[in-house]
């Protein structure tokens, strides 16, 4: 895989700012994405959170009875996630690993891989390679859950505004963390190319009533097909 522009501890300085900024910028849309993802997780599932950040998804998952592994390169994000888990889900089955997702080899295949607002950190070629890795990690019947910016749609002014809505935070985060700068990803198509099947996509509105500029994708490992 080509080397990443992401600096290892790029997100350390954003620990306290990330969640409020995401809530503000999306008018609650990003929070709605997280809630949809949490609702898809079943008790007892082994869930691996790629780029787990401050652990909000992991808290929701373990409170639903899942077993969570959190993977992140930022030690301060992981420390924040640990504190949050201790406070909001004491005694839960959780493992935290400070590791680059590209170096990770799960000791046990997860039932679910969650990538919330994580793939947007990378260039399209790395996204493609990561989706291939996620597919390889999953247990038979396993699922991938993604929340991220939705692909461009519509025409003229709408496309322009949607691009602006994506590019402004992307350039800000690129300057602060070393994230990749790239056009909006076509994640649905990339998930299909990586071999996932039964792909469901759900648009999520900016501010609850605005345009669907976010989406949640659920996809299954190819061998999860149920024979007719
Ligand atoms: C945009 S934040 C999203 C955090 C969280 N998933 C959420 O939705 O709140 C991206 C996270 O990915 C982590 N990250 C960036 N590059 C990574 C990599 N190569 N491997 C693992 N984590 C990485 C960052 O430290 C950061 O916590």
If one residue of 32, 51, 97, 115 were mutated to test the ligand 1 pocket, choosing by the most ligand atoms within 8 A of its CB, it would be 51
First to last CA, the chain: 38
Give, in degrees to the nearest 5, the angle at Cα 175 between 194 and 127.
Answer: 5
Per-residue pLDDT tens over the stretch 137-173: 999 999 999 999 999 998 899 999 999 999 999 999 9
Residue 208 has a CB neighbour count (10 Å cut-off) of 12
Least confident of 10-24, 185-199, 213-227: 213-227
d(CA 157, ligand 1 centre) in Å: 31
Ligand 1 contacts CB of residue 177 (under 6 A)? no
Q: Which two three-digit tokens encode residue 143?
A: 């699922």
Residue 202 has a CB neighbour count (10 Å cut-off) of 14
Q: What pTM was estimated for this model as a whole?
A: 0.94
Please name each of the domains of the chain with its CATH number. Answer: 12-221 (3.40.50.150)
Measured CA to CA, the distance from residue 146 to residue 214 in angstroms comes to 10
Q: What SS3 class is residue 123?
A: coil
Q: Is 199 exposed, middle or buried (0-12, 13-18, 19+ CB in 10 A)?
A: middle
């Amino acid at each position: 895989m080509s080397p990443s522009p992401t600096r290892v501890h790029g997100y350390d300085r954003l620990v306290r700012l990330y969640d409020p900024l995401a809530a503000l910028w999306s008018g609650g849309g990003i929070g709605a994405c997280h809630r949809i993802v949490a609702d898809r997780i079943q008790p007892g599932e082994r869930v691996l959170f790629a780029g787990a950040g401050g652990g909000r998804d992991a808290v929701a998952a373990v409170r639903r009875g899942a077993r969570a592994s959190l993977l992140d390169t930022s030690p301060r994000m992981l420390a924040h996630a640990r504190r949050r888990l201790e406070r909001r889900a004491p005694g839960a089955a959780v493992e935290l690993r400070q590791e680059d997702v590209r170096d990770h080899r799960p000791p046990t295949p997860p039932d679910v891989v969650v990538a919330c607002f994580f793939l947007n950190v990378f260039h399209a070629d790395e996204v493609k390679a990561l989706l291939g890795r996620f597919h390889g990690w999953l247990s038979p019947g396993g699922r991938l859950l993604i929340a991220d910016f939705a692909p461009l749609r519509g025409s003229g002014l709408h496309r322009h505004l949607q691009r602006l809505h994506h590019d402004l935070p992307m350039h800000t985060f690129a300057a602060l963390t070393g994230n990749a700068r790239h056009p909006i990803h076509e994640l649905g198509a990339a998930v299909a190319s990586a071999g996932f099947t039964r792909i469901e996509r759900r648009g999520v509105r900016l501010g609850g009533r605005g345009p669907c500029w976010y989406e949640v994708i659920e996809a299954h490992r190819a061998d999860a097909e149920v024979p007719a």
